[in-house]
Structure 1
Amino acid sequence: MKIASSRTRKRLHLLSGACLGLFLLTHFSNHALGLVSVEAMERMRVVFNLFWRSWPGTILLYGSLLLHFLLALESLYRRQTLRMPVREALKIIFGLSFPFLIVGHVVSTRIEWMLTGSGDGYYDVLPVLWSSTFGATRQSLALILAWAHGCLGAWFWMRGRNWYPRYFLFFYSFAVLVPLLALLGFAVAARSLEVGMPSEAWFMSNHARPEILAQIRLSIVAGLLAMIGATLILRAIPVRGKVKITYPDRAISVPKGFSVLEAIRAAGIPHISICGGRGRCSTCRVRVTEGVHRLPPPNEAEKATLMRIRAPDDVRLACQLRPNHNLSIAPVLGADNIGLKAQPSEQQAAGRERRIAVLFCDLRDFTLLAQKQLPFDTVFLLNRYFETIGEAVEGSGGVIDKFIGDGALAIFGLSNTIEEACAQALAATVRIANGVEVLNRNFMSELDTPLRIAMGMHAGPAIIGQIGYGKASSLTAVGDTINAASRLEGFAKEYDAQLAVSADVVRYAGLSVGDRESYNISIRGRAGTLETLIIQNAAEIGIMMASANHPKGTPA
C-alpha cells in the first residue's frame, strides 16, 4: 500500500492539505459574512462558486480530499504501533472522522446540485440545518474538526522553522478567530431567517428524490468504512521475522517493518520527535553503535535532513530508519542522556567543612559556535560535552556539583583525603581533555572549529552543604577555594591553555613542580598571590603522573 516515495508522499500530503485549507478558509469567510447579512453571504457565494464549482475547481477540491484521505490511510498502515503523542493521535482522529461528518452536507449540496442544478443557497440551506439541533450541531462540529485538523497539520509543518516563534501569536489568533467568526456568522444568519422545514412540495420540486440521495450517502459511508477497515486488517496481518533493537539499558524485539521510533514508543521509552516522525527535523536521531553497515540506505527525506546537519554515517533518523537486521542504538537528544550517577547523600556531606579539590571546566567560544548551529544541535553538543565531563569526573572519584551554562563545577575529596582528592582531580583533567578530543573527531563534519576547553583547579578548605531554596537547593560547596578555582579557569583562557592549576594541588597529589615555570597570580578578593602552573595540554599531567615514583607530599 505504498503510493509513492517518501518525499513525494510528503509533498502530495502538504499540497492536498493546502488546497483543502484554502477551501475551508474561503468557505468559512463566506460563513462569517452572516454577521453582516444573509444577502452579503449570497453575494460572496456567487464569487466563491465561480472557482470551486467549476470543473477544474471540483477536480482539485475532491481530488485533494480523496488523495489526503488515502495518504492518511497509507500513513496509518505504515505505522507499526498506534502508540503516539496525543497531538498526532488527534490529528489522525480528526482527519478520519471529518469525511463522515460532511457526507450529508456534500450530498445535499454539491452532488444534488450536479444532479438537479439546484443552487441550494443560504436562504435554502440555513433553515434546513437549523430546523433541528442535530443538524446544526453536526455541521458546527464538522467545521471545528476540519479546521483543527488543518491547524494541527500546519503546526507540525511550521514548528521547526526558524521564523515560526516570531509569528506564533499571529498564527494562534488567526486559528482561533476564523472558526469563531464562521460559527457566529452561521448562527446569526440562521436566526435572522424564519427557521423551519420547507414544505414537502418544495422539496419535490427543487430537489432530487430523498431515497436517491440516501443511497448515495450510504454508498459513500460504506466506501469510507471499507477503506478504513481494509487498512486496519492489513495492519493486523503479522510480518514474518523480527529484529532486535538494543537500547543502552534494554533490548526491544519488534517485527520487521517497524521504524526505530515506533519500536522505542511501543516499548514505552520517551523519545523526542518534534516533527511527528516525518523526517523534517533531526530531533529523533540516534547513533547506531552496532550494525551500521547492514542498515538500509536513507530515503530522500532522511538523506536531506542528515546532510543538512552534516551527520556522520553512524547517525540516523529514528523515524525513518526501518532495520532489517539486529542493531544497537544510543539516543542523541533527550532528558536522560547526560548519564550522571547518584551523588553523595545530604547526610554524608551537608553542613561541614572539608579540605577538597575543586575543578572548573568551561567551553571556549561556545556562544559563537551555538549561533551557527540549529537549536537542537546545540543541545546535542552540550549533552555530549556534559556526558564527557560527568563520566571523567565520576570515573576519577569526584562528583559534579553543578552545570552552569556551558561550564561545569566538580568537587573531589568529600569522603577521602586531600592528597587523594588532588590526584583524582588531576586524573579527571586528563580524561576530560581526551574526551573532548574524541568529541572533536566524532563530530568533525558538524563543527566549523573544534571544541576547546579551559580548566581551573585549586585545593583547600570549603563549606559543604545543602544550599538553595525549595527544589532549587542542591549539595554544593562555598568558600575561597571555589572562588580561586573559578579565577584560575579564567587565567587558563588568558594564556590560551587547557589548565591553570595551583602549585598546591600538584604538590598535594605527590607530583614535583620541578623546573616548570610558575606564575604568582593575584586573585581579586584574596590576599597575596597564588603560585600557579599553566598547562597548555592536560595530557602533560598524565605524563607527570605516570613518571612520578615518589610518595605524596604536602605543600610547602
Structure 2
Amino acid sequence: MTLISTATKTKMHIASGIVLLVFLTMHFTNHALGLSSVSMMETGRAFFNQVWRSWPGTILLYGAILVHFISALDAFYRRKTLWMPIGEVLKIGFGLALPFLIASHVMGTRLEFALSGYDRGYPQVLAVVWATPGNRLWYAIAVIVAWTHGCLGLWFWLRARSWFPRIAPLFHMAAVIVPLVAFLGVYAGGRFITSLPPFLDYRPKTDPATIPSILAAFYLVLGSLIGIILLMKIIPSRDRIEITYFGSKRVPISPGLSVLEVSRAAGIPHVSICGGRGRCSTCRIQILEGLEGQPAPQERERATLASIGAPDDVRLACQLRPNHNLTVLPLVEADGLVFTAQNAPDKAAGRERMVAALFCDLRGFTELSEQKLPYDVVFLLNRYFAMVDDVVEGTGGVVDKFIGDGAIALFGLDTPLNKACRQALLCAARLSAELEALNRSFNAELDTPLRIAIGLHAGSAIVGRMGHGRAASLTAIGDTINIASRLEGLAKEHDAELAVSAEVVRQANVTFIDHTSQELSIRGRTATVETWIVPNAGEIERCVTTPAAGMNLNSEALGKAS
C-alpha cells in the first residue's frame, strides 16, 4: 500500500511547480529592471528578498524545490518506458538538468549568505556573469531551461481545460516576453558594470573550499540518483513478458506497461484518439491468447467497452497492463488515420468540450417540395439556409452542417457553457422570428407557411474535424448531440417549435414565465429528460427573464448576462 496516492502526488507536484514558476517570474522581472539601471535592480531585489528570504518564503521556496524534485524523480522511476512524446522528453530532461545548471548560482548567493552573512548584490553577480563568454552562455542556458521547463509543465496541466484556448495567446506571449526582458535587463546591467573600474572586494568569511565542496557533493548525489534510475530502466528485468501482435512482431517488455505504451515504444501504429485516457474505444484490441489471469477492467474501461457492446475478449490497449504473455490484434485500422487528435489544425478539434447543440428542421417540407419545381425548391432552401446561418452566427454559434432541410448548430466553442446556452436560446427565438419574415416574403408562393421544429440540449461532446479529404469538417459527436436531435423530434410530436432540455435552461440561468417543464421520454433512451415544450419559440425573447434583473433575453441582456 502506498503512503501517498497518485492523485495527491500529482497535486503536490503541480502546487510546488506553481510556487517555483511564481518565483522565476518575480526573479526574471527583477532582472528586467536592468533596462532602467542597476540601482533599480537592487531596489527590486530588496523587495524580492523580503518575500523569499523571510522564514515563510524560505520554507515555501525550498520546500517546493524539494517536493518538486522528489516527485519528478518518483514519476521518472514509476515510468515503465523511456518512450514518450517530445514535449514530455523536453519537460523531464530540462527538469533533471535544471539543478545542475542553477546549483552554483543558488549556493553562491543564498547558501553563502546563510553561512557567512555575505550578501552578493546585482553588481557582484553581474560582474561574475559578464566576466567570461562561458559564464554568459551558462546563464543563458539556465534561464532558457528553467523557464521552458516551467512553461511546459504549466501547459501540460492546463491544455485540457475548456477555457485554455481562450487564454493561450496570452500564455504564449508571456512565455516569450518574460525571459526576453530578463535577458535584456541582464545584458544592460552587465554592460554597465563591466564599463566601470574594478570595484569588487569579495572576501568570503567562509573557507574558500566550503562552497565548492558542498557543490561537488550535491552533484555527486544528484547524478547518482538519476544514474541509478536510468540503469534500472535500461537493464532488462528478469520477469519480462512478451506481447505478440498478430501478423506483426513480438515485443519483450517488463510488466507494468500498457499495451498502448508497448505499441508506441516498438513503433507499431496504434490509434488512440483520446491520447490514452480511456475516453474513447479507438485503441481497442482483441485478446487472441493469454486473456485468462490478466487484470480486470476498471470502471472507466468497463464503461467505454460497454458503450460499444464489446465482447469479453476485447480490451482497451491504453488501460490493459498485462502480467503475462499476450497475443493481441488491434481492431481499428491505423493506416491513414491521425493517431492523436491534438495534431488537427483546428483549435477546437479533437477535444471534449462543453457545448450547447441546436437542431432545427422544417416541418412538412417533403410534401411541399413534391408540389414545386426542383429549381424553386433549391431557391427556397438556399434562402432558408442563408437565414439560419445568419441567425446562428449572429448569436455567437457555428453551423455544424446542413442536412436535407435541417441544420445543426454548436454554441460554446469559444465561450463558457452558461453563455453558450443563452446564445442558443436567443438563436431559437430569432429563428422563429426570421422564419415568419421569410414566410411573408414567400406568401404568394406558399400554400401553407413554413414551420420549424427546434431541439436544444447542453453537455459534453467530442468536437473535432471528422471525415476524409475535402469532406472533412468540424463537427461534434456524443450523447449531447443525440439528445438534441431527439428533442427536435419531440418538438414535432408536440406540435411545437421548441423542445429545450432543463439543463440548457439551468445553465442559462433564465426562467420561462408562461411554461412548465415535463419529464418526457425520448426515442432511444430509457431514462426521461426534463424538457420545456414551447409552442412558439419567438416568445422566448419576450418572456424569458433572468431571475436577478428581470431582463428580457435580447441582445443587450445577452451581453450583460455574460
**When the two structures are superposed, what TM-score results if normalisation uses the length of structure 1?**
0.57
> Helix, strand or coil: the match of 2:283?
strand
> Helix, strand or coil: the match of 1:193?
helix
Instruction: In structure 2, give the amino acid aligned to 1:49.
Output: N
Judge conservation of contact 2:295–2:323 (CA < 8 Å) in 1.
yes
Q: Using the TM superposition, give the Cα deviation of residue 250 of structure 1 relative to its aligned residue in structure 2, in angstroms.
A: 5.7
**Superposed CA offset, 1:351-393 (max 9, x none):** xxxxxxxxxxx89989469986766x4559x67xx9xxxxxxx
Q: Using the TM superposition, give the Cα deviation of residue 133 of structure 1 relative to its aligned residue in structure 2, in angstroms.
A: 1.6
RMSD of the alignment, in Å? 4.5
> Helix, strand or coil: the match of 2:482?
coil
**Superposed CA offset, 1:61-112 (max 9, x none):** 1222222222222222222322222222111211111110111101100100
Structure 1 residues 120 and 405 mapped into 2: Cα distance closer, same or farther (>3 Å)? closer
List aligned pairs for 1:353-432, cutoff 5 A. Answer: 367=408, 377-378=462-463, 403=471
Q: Which residue is equivalent to 1:259?
A: 258
Instruction: In structure 2, give the amino acid aligned to 1:220.
Output: F
1:449 aligned to which of 472, 482, 485: 482
Q: Which residue is equivalent to 1:151?
A: 151
Q: Which residue is equivalent to 1:203?
A: 202
List aligned pairs for 1:512-551, cutoff 5 A. Answer: none
List aligned pairs for 1:147-186, cutoff 5 A. Answer: 147-186=147-186
2:227 aligned to which of 226, 229, 244: 229
Q: Using the TM superposition, give the Cα deviation of residue 233 of structure 1 relative to its aligned residue in structure 2, in angstroms.
A: 2.5
Say whether 1:287 aligns with 2:287.
no
Q: Which residue is equivalent to 2:37?
A: 37
**Superposed CA offset, 1:318-351 (max 9, x none):** 5554232436464669664699xxxxxxxxxxxx
Judge conservation of contact 1:20–1:64 (CA < 8 Å) in 2.
yes
Q: Using the TM superposition, give the Cα deviation of residue 143 of structure 1 relative to its aligned residue in structure 2, in angstroms.
A: 0.7
**Aligned counterparts of 1:284 and 1:72: Cα–Cα separation in 2:** 30
**Superposed CA offset, 1:150-190 (max 9, x none):** 11111222222222222222111110000000010011011
Q: Which residue is equivalent to 2:323?
A: 324
Between 1:171-180 and 1:247-256, the stretch displaced more is: 247-256
Structure 1 residues 366 and 312 mapped into 2: Cα distance closer, same or farther (>3 Å)? farther
Judge conservation of contact 1:127–1:197 (CA < 8 Å) in 2.
no
Judge conservation of contact 2:246–2:328 (CA < 8 Å) in 1.
yes
**Aligned counterparts of 1:211 and 1:249: Cα–Cα separation in 2:** 60
Instruction: In structure 1, give the amino acid aligned to 2:11.
Output: R
> Helix, strand or coil: the match of 2:8?
helix
**Aligned counterparts of 2:41 and 2:32: Cα–Cα separation in 1:** 8
Structure 1 residues 374 and 208 mapped into 2: Cα distance closer, same or farther (>3 Å)? farther
List aligned pairs for 1:92-171, cutoff 5 A. Answer: 92-171=92-171
**Superposed CA offset, 1:23-76 (max 9, x none):** 100100110111111111111111111121122222221222222222222222
Structure 1 residues 363 and 294 mapped into 2: Cα distance closer, same or farther (>3 Å)? farther
**Aligned counterparts of 1:136 and 1:31: Cα–Cα separation in 2:** 14
> Helix, strand or coil: the match of 2:209?
helix
**When the two structures are superposed, what TM-score results if normalisation uses the length of structure 2?**
0.56
Judge conservation of contact 2:52–2:58 (CA < 8 Å) in 1.
yes
Judge conservation of contact 1:130–1:195 (CA < 8 Å) in 2.
no
Identity %: 38
Instruction: In structure 1, give the amino acid aligned to 2:173.
Output: S
> Helix, strand or coil: the match of 2:162?
coil
Judge conservation of contact 1:288–1:329 (CA < 8 Å) in 2.
yes
Q: Which residue is equivalent to 1:545?
A: none
Q: Using the TM superposition, give the Cα deviation of residue 144 of structure 1 relative to its aligned residue in structure 2, in angstroms.
A: 0.8
Instruction: In structure 2, give the amino acid aligned to 1:114.
Output: A
Q: Which residue is equivalent to 2:187?
A: 187
Structure 1 residues 171 and 365 mapped into 2: Cα distance closer, same or farther (>3 Å)? farther
Judge conservation of contact 1:2–1:74 (CA < 8 Å) in 2.
no
Instruction: In structure 2, give the amino acid aligned to 1:226.
Output: S
**Superposed CA offset, 1:261-282 (max 9, x none):** 32011110345678987x5x84
Q: Max radius of gyration: which structure?
A: 1
Judge conservation of contact 1:88–1:276 (CA < 8 Å) in 2.
no
Structure 1 residues 331 and 167 mapped into 2: Cα distance closer, same or farther (>3 Å)? farther
**Aligned counterparts of 1:108 and 1:46: Cα–Cα separation in 2:** 18
**Aligned counterparts of 2:327 and 2:10: Cα–Cα separation in 1:** 28
Q: Which residue is equivalent to 2:87?
A: 87
**Aligned counterparts of 2:10 and 2:161: Cα–Cα separation in 1:** 17
Judge conservation of contact 1:35–1:188 (CA < 8 Å) in 2.
yes
Q: Which residue is equivalent to 1:70?
A: 70
Structure 1 residues 209 and 313 mapped into 2: Cα distance closer, same or farther (>3 Å)? farther
Structure 1 residues 363 and 232 mapped into 2: Cα distance closer, same or farther (>3 Å)? farther
Structure 1 residues 157 and 289 mapped into 2: Cα distance closer, same or farther (>3 Å)? same
> Helix, strand or coil: the match of 2:253?
strand
Say whether 1:238 aligns with 2:237.
yes
User: How many pairs does the alignment contain?
Assistant: 372
**Aligned counterparts of 1:15 and 1:293: Cα–Cα separation in 2:** 39
Judge conservation of contact 1:331–1:337 (CA < 8 Å) in 2.
no
> Helix, strand or coil: the match of 1:244?
strand
Judge conservation of contact 2:253–2:262 (CA < 8 Å) in 1.
yes
Structure 1 residues 317 and 107 mapped into 2: Cα distance closer, same or farther (>3 Å)? farther
**Aligned counterparts of 2:61 and 2:31: Cα–Cα separation in 1:** 18
Q: Which residue is equivalent to 1:46?
A: 46
Structure 1 residues 275 and 9 mapped into 2: Cα distance closer, same or farther (>3 Å)? farther
Judge conservation of contact 2:463–2:474 (CA < 8 Å) in 1.
no
**Aligned counterparts of 1:258 and 1:219: Cα–Cα separation in 2:** 35
**Aligned counterparts of 2:407 and 2:334: Cα–Cα separation in 1:** 20
Q: Which residue is equivalent to 2:268?
A: 269
* Unpaired runs of at least 5, structure 1: 340-361, 387-400, 408-438, 454-493, 495-556
Structure 1 residues 67 and 198 mapped into 2: Cα distance closer, same or farther (>3 Å)? farther
**Aligned counterparts of 2:407 and 2:283: Cα–Cα separation in 1:** 23
Q: Which residue is equivalent to 2:216?
A: 218
Q: Using the TM superposition, give the Cα deviation of residue 230 of structure 1 relative to its aligned residue in structure 2, in angstroms.
A: 1.7
Judge conservation of contact 1:3–1:9 (CA < 8 Å) in 2.
no
Q: Using the TM superposition, give the Cα deviation of residue 141 of structure 1 relative to its aligned residue in structure 2, in angstroms.
A: 1.1
Judge conservation of contact 1:28–1:182 (CA < 8 Å) in 2.
yes
Judge conservation of contact 1:127–1:195 (CA < 8 Å) in 2.
no
> Helix, strand or coil: the match of 2:284?
strand
Q: Which residue is equivalent to 2:489?
A: none
> Helix, strand or coil: the match of 1:449?
helix
**Aligned counterparts of 2:7 and 2:117: Cα–Cα separation in 1:** 41
**Aligned counterparts of 2:78 and 2:404: Cα–Cα separation in 1:** 43
Judge conservation of contact 2:130–2:194 (CA < 8 Å) in 1.
no
Judge conservation of contact 1:25–1:178 (CA < 8 Å) in 2.
yes
